[in-house]
Structure 1
Amino acid sequence: MELVHKLLPASKKKLVISSIGVLALVLFSVFVLVEAMKAEVVFTDNGEIQTISTHTNTVGDLLQEVGIAVGAHDFLSHDEADLIEDGMEITYKTAKQITVSIDGEEQAYYTTADTIEDFLIEQDLAFKERDEISHQPTEVTEDGLHIEVVKAYQVTINDGGNEKEVWTTGGTVNDLLKEADVDYEKGSDDRITPALDEKVTKGKTIDIVRVAIDEEEVTETIAFDIEERQDSSLLKGEEKVISEGEEGAVTKRFKVTKENGKEVSRELISEDVTEERVNRVVAVGTKEEVQESNLVTLANETTNQGGKTITVTASAFTSECGGCSGVTATGINLSANPNMKVIAVDPNVIPLGTKVWVEGYGEAIAGDTGGNIKGNRIDVHVPSKSAAYSWGVKTVQVKVLD
């Protein structure tokens, strides 16, 4: 430069300096103009905000300038063909792949949602509170996230005959009963099927049979026997009660098993006689009656207004007697008709079906027979044992009415 100064005259030196200054001014002006022509864009890349000054014409050119290739599932706030404008705000999000497994069936999704809750809403995936989801709704989404969902299903619990439907996502029978607040005691007599350690499956019914085992005490009567004693002072066929019988009592203890409140078995554990029975003692006549004829069926027979009257020995019976069926030889149900007037006869003397009148008893029908009813002997039916005792054994007149 010093050489230039020496070689050039002073006037020319001034000209060179002025030219350099003008050139610098022009270059600066061009630079300022170029810079002024740049557009300023606010660009958000996956949450990171930056301001970019650019000469690019379109959004696609800008993305290419910053090295971003937009994927098919990525989010871009503008079309790539949109023109760049000063002050434009552009947002870009890279899509994340999320796999959702519902009851074992997997499906891949792409999303730009920030949280799992937003992702589920975006994909219209709705689940119930009772469904089991591996992640919380507030968790942030990540690329490669795997969400597992087990949908709840209904299971029927039949608890001692009372059914209810409960929701579950699986587990064992034991787990389900705890979730459903069903009380049971391990080691009890209750029966639970399927077993407590078996897996619960959809549509399954769990049956609980409530078993109760108790002891029950019952007091029963013991019927007395009739003891016969021969008495020569009584005519043959006559009887006389010497002493009334008394029923005894026995206390029985049973083991009673009930299932769901209903008795299914009863086992006798013990029995104790708490009151001894006393037999009824009856004197039975053995004295022979002097008769002019051996035809007892015609003895003492007289005619009376077209019928016949017979003298007989009459005792009493009731349908409540031990071993009695309550139904007569002619089919009359005395258990159902305790006040019906019926007598037991020897059909060779009084035919069955005959209407009669019995002294001290009234009108009756000859409707039954008996092992001890032979010849001129009858049994009158009375409604109770006490009435039979009161009747005793007596001699009466019987008139045949038809």
Structure 2
Amino acid sequence: MRIISKLLPASKMKLVISSIGVLALVLFSGLVLFEATKAEVVVTDNDEKQTVNTHTNTVGELLAEVGINVGEHDELSHSLDTQIESGMEIKYDTAKEVVVTIDGDEQVFYTTTDTIDEFLSEENLSFADRDDVSHDRTEAIEDGLHIEVATAYEVTINDGGKEKRVWTTGSTVGELLDSNQIKVNKKLDKIKPAIDEKVTKDTTITIVQVKKETEEVTEKVAFDTEKKNDSSLLKGKEQVVTQGQAGKIVKKYEVLYENGKEVSRELVSEEVTEDSKNQVVAIGTKEPVQKKETNLVTLSSKKSNSANSSKKSSTSNTSSSKANTDGKVFTMSASAYTASCSGCSGFTATGINLAANPNMKVIAVDPNIIPLGSRVWVEGYGEAIAGDTGGHIKGNRIDVHVPSKSAAYKWGRKTVTVKVLN
């Protein structure tokens, strides 16, 4: 200015100063007018708001002006070519990358949602409660989040013959059994596949329940029979002198059960708790006495008549005991016995082999009442031979022979009519 003032006369100097003032005023007015014509826009960048005054024409130009670069998956409330208007609110959210792996199949998503639950709903991804999802649905979405999902599937468990279907996402056999409260004896039970193997969709788990028990069994020990010759007993007869007595032995077994069924039994110990006693049987060796026959010689007709008379008398006397009972009827107490009883030889006192003839009808009698060899009829029993005796068969008592113990028990003891036939 000093240079200009020196070069120009005073009048011209005033003109220059006046021109500069006018120019400055114009510039200031233009600046004020420029600012006054800017549009006021509210921009929300990922929840952070800012007010922007701009002369840009489009949303794209405005975002570029404020340094926002819109990506392919980002969310913008307006299109980029939307014209700017004063009072406009523009919302922008940056998309986050989310990787979802479902049963090993990986997919990449981009989202502007806030939580995992909102993201899953947005992408129409639904999972059952039994599925295994790596994150809680309420967690916030972060860029680069990796969600892993294992969908559940059904497998069959055959537990001791009973089948059930359960859901799993691929745990081990042991973990699956524990989660379903299925108890097993890992030392004894047979489990297939093994307890530490992984479960797959094709897996069927089989459990054989194994139980081991110790069992005590008391058994009888059979007695031996000792035979001794007895010269006082007729040859062919046997008589029990001492009754045999069975002993007792306690055996301990280790018994193995599979699914409740016995599969093996192993003898681990045995102890004799009562010794057996031998049975002693007397074997008759005495030879029977042979009766001698006497012949009468007739000297004369008179003597012959006398001899005949004497012979008739003798014959009558020898057969009197039997003849006296022929046709006689008795009322007797009748019990029953069988040849298979303990200590029985199977032979009667008259030598009948009842063991070989179990259905033969024979009764034991008191020979003083009914002679041995008599043919008799017994009420409820039928015709029989009086072919045996017994230590307890005295007086009006008989024992009827039956083929089995059950038949003897069935007969019991009863009062019967006995008729001597001959």
Assess same fold via TM > 0.5. Answer: yes
Q: Is the 8 A contact 1:343 1:364 kept in 2?
A: no
Moved more, 162-171 or 253-262: 162-171
Q: Is the 8 A contact 1:160 1:260 kept in 2?
A: yes
CA distance in 1, matches of 2:240, 2:220: 22
CA distance in 2, matches of 1:3, 1:273: 147
Aligned to 1:353: none
Q: Is the 8 A contact 1:154 1:203 kept in 2?
A: no
Q: Identity of counterpart residues, as a percentage?
A: 54
SS in structure 2 of the partner of residue 202 of structure 1: coil
1:319-398 → structure 2 map (5 Å cutoff): 343-345=358-360, 359=378, 362-363=380-381, 379-383=401-405
Aligned to 1:271: 270
Distance 1:380 1:240, change over 3 A: farther
Moved more, 204-213 or 248-257: 204-213
Aligned to 2:372: none
String of CA shifts for 1:101-138, please: whole Å, max 9, x gaps: 11111222222234444322321223345433444542
Aligned to 2:215: 216
Query: What is the deviation of 1:264?
Result: 1.6
Aligned to 2:29: 29
TM-score (norm. length: structure 2): 0.63
Query: What is the deviation of 1:38?
Result: 0.7
CA distance in 1, matches of 2:164, 2:69: 58
TM-score (norm. length: structure 1): 0.66
SS in structure 2 of the partner of residue 32 of structure 1: helix
CA distance in 2, matches of 1:381, 1:93: 108
Aligned to 1:105: 105
CA distance in 1, matches of 2:9, 2:254: 143
CA distance in 1, matches of 2:119, 2:50: 26
Aligned to 2:91: 91
Query: What is the deviation of 1:50?
Result: 3.2
Aligned to 1:311: none
Aligned to 2:172: 172
- Count of residue correspondences: 338
SS in structure 2 of the partner of residue 246 of structure 1: coil
SS in structure 2 of the partner of residue 92 of structure 1: strand
1:316 aligns with 2:338: yes
Paired AA for residue 173 in structure 1: V
- Unaligned ranges ≥5, structure 2: 293-321, 328-335, 345-356, 362-374, 385-399
String of CA shifts for 1:55-86, please: whole Å, max 9, x gaps: 12332332344465544422001233433222
CA distance in 1, matches of 2:291, 2:80: 144
Aligned to 1:310: none
Aligned-pair Cα RMSD in Å: 4.5
String of CA shifts for 1:312-350, please: whole Å, max 9, x gaps: xx972359999xxxxxxxxxxxxxxxxxxx95239xxxx
CA distance in 2, matches of 1:124, 1:321: 93
CA distance in 1, matches of 2:90, 2:341: 109
Aligned to 2:300: none
Aligned to 2:190: 191
1:147 aligns with 2:147: yes
Paired AA for residue 252 in structure 2: R
Distance 1:387 1:241, change over 3 A: farther
CA distance in 2, matches of 1:240, 1:319: 13
Q: Is the 8 A contact 1:357 1:399 kept in 2?
A: yes
SS in structure 2 of the partner of residue 381 of structure 1: coil
Query: What is the deviation of 1:221?
Result: 1.8
Distance 1:365 1:230, change over 3 A: farther
Paired AA for residue 35 in structure 2: E
Query: What is the deviation of 1:248?
Result: 1.9
String of CA shifts for 1:282-306, please: whole Å, max 9, x gaps: 44556548799xxxxxxx9x998xx
Aligned to 1:63: 63
